[in-house]
């Protein structure tokens, strides 16, 4: 398996979650082989991060994914508050 | 693309988009801004979206619906500041007969509410502002069944 020093994931936060963490975009350097759950753990360690729910909705590169979905370098991961369209 | 708009929705335009001589049944749904939420009077509300994903997810819903039923679907969701009574979402579905038009129209609005990343912040009559659903637990299931 090819490994690089780290996997940079572009994390986007929206609406109530962006307000709780005080930021809309964070680039996270994660270990190679990291999953969505690892990115969420990274967010929880930030100021305000403990206010995120245990299993928020997430989307990788514009499509919904579960917490066990793998992340690769350059992925965009969006953490989505409860949806309220319609 | 182009399911999201900052300008007032036009249901007749959506109906015209799906109208065809071989489609005899058109079902339309319009969701408007209510003047109350959980017993509190609402003055106005603001919709925001994760635009790129909301467009992609609306496209997937339209595509899935047109594959499941023999229908054509047109869909529009408003963003920005809306007043009471303004249309927030409009859907028009045309099929040969009413059964598939109603079923597919219902499917589109339910999937939109479940999957499309749009949020609303309500401004109440007492001056407070709140994200709708912010106090709810997140859904454990993955919308669309993908992982």
Task: State which residues of chain A have pLDDT below 50.
Answer: none
Amino acid B108: pLDDT: 98
ipTM of the complex as predicted: 0.92
For testing the chain A interface, which of B33, B42, B53, B130 should be mutated: the one with the most A CBs within 10 Å? B53
Find chain B residues with C-beta within 8 A of A85's C-beta.
47, 49, 54, 77, 88-89, 112-113, 116-120
pTM of the predicted model as reported, rounded to 2 decimal places: 0.91
**Dihedral Cα B4, A58, B114, B125, nearest 10 deg:** -70
Contact B119 A56 (CB under 8 A): no
User: b/e map of B89-103 (b: 16 or more CB within 10 Å)?
Assistant: bbbbbbbeeeebbeb
Percentage of chain B with pLDDT > 90? 84
Do A86 and B118 count as a contact with CB atoms less than 8 A apart?
Answer: yes
Set of chain A residues whose Cβ sits within 8 Å of the Cβ of B111: none
Q: Computed over its alpha carbons, how large is the radius of gyration of chain B?
A: 16
Domains of chain A: 7-80 (3.10.20.30)
The domain segmentation of chain B, as residue ranges, is 4-131
Q: Cα–Cα distance between B20 and A44 in angstroms, integer?
A: 52
Structure tokens, B61? 């819903």
B91 — contact with chain A (CB < 8 Å)? no
Superfamily of domain B4-131: Molybdopterin biosynthesis MoaE subunit (3.90.1170.40)
In tens, the pLDDT along B18-34 reads 999 999 999 999 999 99
Q: How confident is the model at residue B45 (pLDDT cuts 50, 70, 90)?
A: very high
Q: CA-to-CA distance for A37 and A54, rounded, in angstroms?
A: 10
Average pLDDT (B86-105) is: 97
Q: Which H or E run includes B84?
A: none
Which residues share a beta bridge with A25?
A12
């Amino acid at each position: 398996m090819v490994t690089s020093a780290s996997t940079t994931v572009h994390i986007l936060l929206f609406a109530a979650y962006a307000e709780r963490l005080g930021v809309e975009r964070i680039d996270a350097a994660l270990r190679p082989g990291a999953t969505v759950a690892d990115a969420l753990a990274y967010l929880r360690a930030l100021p305000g991060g403990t206010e995120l729910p245990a299993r928020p909705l997430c989307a990788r590169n514009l499509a919904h994914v579960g917490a066990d979905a793998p992340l690769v370098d350059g992925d965009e991961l969006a953490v989505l508050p409860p949806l309220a369209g319609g | 693309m182009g399911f999201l708009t900052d300008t007032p929705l036009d249901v007749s335009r959506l109906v015209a988009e799906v109208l065809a001589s071989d489609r005899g049944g058109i079902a339309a749904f319009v969701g408007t801004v209510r003047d109350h939420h959980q017993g509190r009077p609402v003055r106005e509300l603001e919709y925001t979206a994760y635009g790129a994903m909301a467009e992609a997810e609306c496209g997937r819903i339209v595509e899935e619906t047109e594959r499941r039923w023999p229908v054509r679907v047109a869909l529009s969701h408003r963003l920005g500041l809306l007043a009471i009574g303004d249309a927030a979402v409009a859907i028009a579905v045309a099929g040969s007969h009413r059964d598939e038009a109603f079923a597919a129209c219902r499917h589109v609005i339910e999937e939109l509410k479940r999957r499309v990343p749009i949020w609303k912040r309500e401004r109440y009559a007492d001056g407070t502002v709140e994200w709708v659903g912010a106090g709810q637990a997140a859904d454990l299931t993955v919308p669309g069944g993908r992982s």
